[in-house]
Structure 1
Amino acid sequence: MTHTAFEQTLAEAVALARLAPSSHNCQPWAVHFDPVIHCGYLAIDNRRKLTGLPSLEREMLLSCGIFFHFLEQLICLRGYQLHWRWCDEQEQQVLAGEDRALIRFMPGPEQAHQATAFATLSEQLQQRHTVRSAYRNTQLSEQQRNELSTVLKPYPVTLGIYYQQTHGKTLAHLTQTYAGLDFANKAAWRETYSYIRFDERRQYEDGFYLHNLFGPVSGGFKTFFKVAFHPHLSGLNKLLRLPTKMAQGLAELVETGPHYLALNVSKEGDEALFRAGLGLGALWLRLQQWGWAMHPISVLVQHDSAREALAASLSQSELPVFFARFGEPEQSGSPAPRRHWQSILVSDTHSLTKSTPTQRG
């Protein structure tokens, strides 16, 4: 599916945008493009979406927003402006298979390429990893704080930034209190466990290795973790107090900060969450430009009780949709498995309707 200049650009952009972060690295996105009418859809691949918790629907929409932000920026630097709009309820069902359409897009006329900027962005995306290890105590300057706020201005989100000195202990306590919920919900932990890849010699298209969570680990540790945390042995790991120890380790990491950020959406609904994901993608790239990284603390926004406690601790009237610690990492993160771009980009000439997208407002 690379017969025209734009189709080549789209394939190239998908191959880089697929490096976007997603919960459990499930990569729930699909891109359908009709080379005949030159229109396409970004969709959620319902065969790949997470279902262990109702709140994961929110995270899938954020992830697709991040993916599309990367995709749109890459395509723009290759000389095409994308015009897109949110799909109505009827249009969400037009795609073949089980994919749920989110937005419909169409490229504008080809313009000048920005080769240097494209190469820079490509390198940034390839170097971007979720870093769950320690960060340096590099302080966020007022200029940097203003930059992050400016980056998010086009999007329906409110950004809150907090510091280890003022919130570290409270947030660590919340993490210690609620992190065990990841293990208490059997369906959620069964789903999480299914994405852990224990054999680093094999190539996978999704999920994560233990070293993505803990850094380098021994073969003995991998074997212990595989057995002790197996969903069928929940009684054993509770007896050994393993969930409590895991929660304590995460809490200690959270307490170190050095900075935290929370995002709230200013509107309700799927479209607002998707657009919030666009903003999150822009924010993540800005941090990457500084050589900084983020570590989402998802457990604090995936469960209602934890989310309410988090909002109260941050003195927020609205419930956050995303929460993370961020800063300058002491060491870079490691790559996680990725889908091949050809499994994401689908040539679809049968089910796309012929209505024309309007330019994003």
Structure 2
Amino acid sequence: MTSTSASVSAHPQRGVAFEEALRAAAEIAVHSPSSHNCQPWGVGWANGTVARRAAAALLGPAAAREHRVAQDDGEFLVLALDRERRLTALPAHGVEMLISCGAYGEILLRSLAAQGWTADRIRFLDLPPAGPGTADGAAGRVFGDRWPRAWAPLCVVRLRRTPTPAEDLTELRATVRARRTNRGPYESAGVDPAVLARLAPPRPGPALLRAAPEHGPEVTVRHVVADAERAAVADLVSRHGGRDFSHPLAWTETHAFIRRDEAEAEARGDGFTLGQLFGPMSPPRRLGLRIALAPPTMRMLRHAGYHRILARQLAAMVRRSPAVVALGFHEEAPGAGSAVRGGAVLADYWLGATRAGLVLHPVSVVLQHDDVRAELERRLGLPGRAFFMSRLGLPVTDFPPSHRRAAHRAVRRV
């Protein structure tokens, strides 16, 4: 856990057990999903007097009063977006980054609850990831001088010791580590409808929402299994899936996360290798792809329609998948708090799918451009705004896990 001499707690004996639990939870949560595996999250442990007082005040008069009466009453965490690690090439990336943070926050809280630390209060701050008042870190200064200037706070959580863990930590750790994006072929047999029914709400729900039941369910989960509807999704991918490759700024940003080999991926701790994108391949094919996918090459190949070839290949994978899952906000224009909560629902869904032996392969290109997303929503009759679309099925081959940064780098004492 990141700490400096200036971040020594004013209460040196307080929170020792929680620090150990937080360290274990961060080691699990670091395997949360994020766009391009960019890991744009941060979490501040409000350990100092100023930060604890500010966190309690943000949670409302009752929490502030309880904090004044019992100074050691609970622990406070602040989930944040690390603006230095976010994607920015497309406007849709703003929502994607908040969803990634919400997924991380959900797995972190579930890992803490599995160790007997349960969230009992939460406030979503609905602060924008950038803009007036946030670009210089001013939004986080309420938590004191140790708050990282690049972090935009998203929500504040209070946790208390509970006698009974919410779930088994070992099983949760294994499920989180088993969850990964699988871009390979899936078994042609349809997914059991009973399994799909169990994955869709209502369920116990994400830990990030159980601490704030007043927000209620805000996400629709839709399973697309009919041949005609899956063909409609595949058609959109075929016609528009090349935009990622032909958009110079977006592809340059994406390519920056493609690592040369496993050694570079391990050293950087983010992004993905060609093997994680395309599966096992021969050295000549790997070299050919490295050359073809380089931004200067792509700028030339798009004139020959190479981006359309890649789109048709992805569309064929979608068409052959037994199911597609879509998650959508009820709102047309969700705020930051809604996006974070959407990420929590996504993490909860993905872990449930993993437990059922299913794998996912997000098809984000149909959501990253407003015109394509609007057509997708119209074709499938989706209300509100779709924010996640993925292939879903039983894997034929395994895909390697992506590398992650050291867990402690995302956690700070404040």
Fold shared, TM-score > 0.5 on shorter chain: yes
**Partners of 2:126 and 2:336 within 8 A in 1:** no
CA deviation after TM superposition for structure 1 residue 228, in Å: 2.0
Which 4+ runs in 1 deviate beyond 6 A?
Answer: none
Give runs of aligned pairs for residues 231-310 of structure 1, distance below 5 A. 231-267=295-331, 268-310=334-376
**Partners of 1:228 and 1:236 within 8 A in 2:** no
CA deviation after TM superposition for structure 1 residue 239, in Å: 4.3
Name the CA distance, whole Å, in 1 between partners of 2:196 and 2:269. 36
Name the structure 2 match of 1:190. 252
Name the CA distance, whole Å, in 1 between partners of 2:217 and 2:326. 14
CA deviation after TM superposition for structure 1 residue 248, in Å: 1.3
Q: Which SS does the other structure have where 2:168 is aligned?
A: helix
Name the structure 2 match of 1:180. 242
Q: Larger deviation: 260-269 or 123-132?
A: 260-269
* Percentage of matched positions with identical amino acids: 29
1:118 to 162, 169, 182: 169
Q: Which SS does the other structure have where 1:302 is aligned?
A: coil
Q: Larger deviation: 131-140 or 251-260?
A: 131-140
Q: Which SS does the other structure have where 2:360 is aligned?
A: strand
Name the CA distance, whole Å, in 1 between partners of 2:388 and 2:308. 24
Q: Larger deviation: 92-101 or 61-70?
A: 92-101
CA deviation after TM superposition for structure 1 residue 61, in Å: 1.1
TM-score, length of structure 2 as denominator length: 0.79
Name the CA distance, whole Å, in 1 between partners of 2:181 and 2:375. 25
Name the structure 2 match of 1:22. 34
Q: Larger deviation: 40-49 or 134-143?
A: 134-143
Q: Deviations over 1:319-356 (max 9, x none)?
A: 311111111111222111101012111122xxxxxxxx
CA deviation after TM superposition for structure 1 residue 88, in Å: 5.5
**Partners of 1:212 and 1:334 within 8 A in 2:** yes
Note the residue ranges of structure 2 that are not aligned, 5 or more in a row. 3-14, 53-74, 128-132, 142-146, 206-215
Name the CA distance, whole Å, in 2 between partners of 1:136 and 1:200. 28
Q: Which amino acid aligns with 2:240?
A: Y
Name the structure 1 match of 2:95. 58
Name the structure 1 match of 2:161. 109
Name the structure 2 match of 1:156. 218
CA deviation after TM superposition for structure 1 residue 220, in Å: 2.0
Q: Larger deviation: 222-231 or 116-125?
A: 222-231
CA deviation after TM superposition for structure 1 residue 60, in Å: 0.8
Name the structure 1 match of 2:184. 133
Cα root mean square deviation, aligned = 2.0
**Partners of 1:164 and 1:257 within 8 A in 2:** no
- In structure 2, the CA distance between the partners of 1:336 and 1:10, relative to structure 1 (3 Å rule), is same
Q: Which SS does the other structure have where 1:295 is aligned?
A: strand
Q: Larger deviation: 166-175 or 122-131?
A: 166-175
2:43 to 31, 41, 44: 31
Name the CA distance, whole Å, in 2 between partners of 1:25 and 1:179. 20
Give runs of aligned pairs for residues 62-101 of structure 1, distance below 5 A. 62-82=99-119, 83-87=121-125, 89=127, 92-94=139-141, 95-101=147-153
1:144 and 2:144 matched: no
Matched residues, number: 347
Larger radius of gyration: 2
Name the structure 2 match of 1:221. 285
Q: Which amino acid aligns with 2:79?
A: L
**Partners of 2:30 and 2:404 within 8 A in 1:** yes
Name the CA distance, whole Å, in 2 between partners of 1:187 and 1:70. 32
Q: Deviations over 1:93-126 (max 9, x none)?
A: 3332210000112221342346x71100111111
**Partners of 2:186 and 2:321 within 8 A in 1:** yes
Q: Deviations over 1:261-311 (max 9, x none)?
A: 111112331111111111111111110111111111000001112101211
CA deviation after TM superposition for structure 1 residue 87, in Å: 2.0
- In structure 2, the CA distance between the partners of 1:226 and 1:152, relative to structure 1 (3 Å rule), is farther
**Partners of 1:151 and 1:279 within 8 A in 2:** no
CA deviation after TM superposition for structure 1 residue 128, in Å: 0.9
- In structure 2, the CA distance between the partners of 1:159 and 1:297, relative to structure 1 (3 Å rule), is same
CA deviation after TM superposition for structure 1 residue 84, in Å: 2.1
**Partners of 1:79 and 1:111 within 8 A in 2:** yes
**Partners of 2:81 and 2:151 within 8 A in 1:** yes
TM-score, length of structure 1 as denominator length: 0.90
Q: Which amino acid aligns with 2:389?
A: F
- In structure 2, the CA distance between the partners of 1:16 and 1:51, relative to structure 1 (3 Å rule), is same
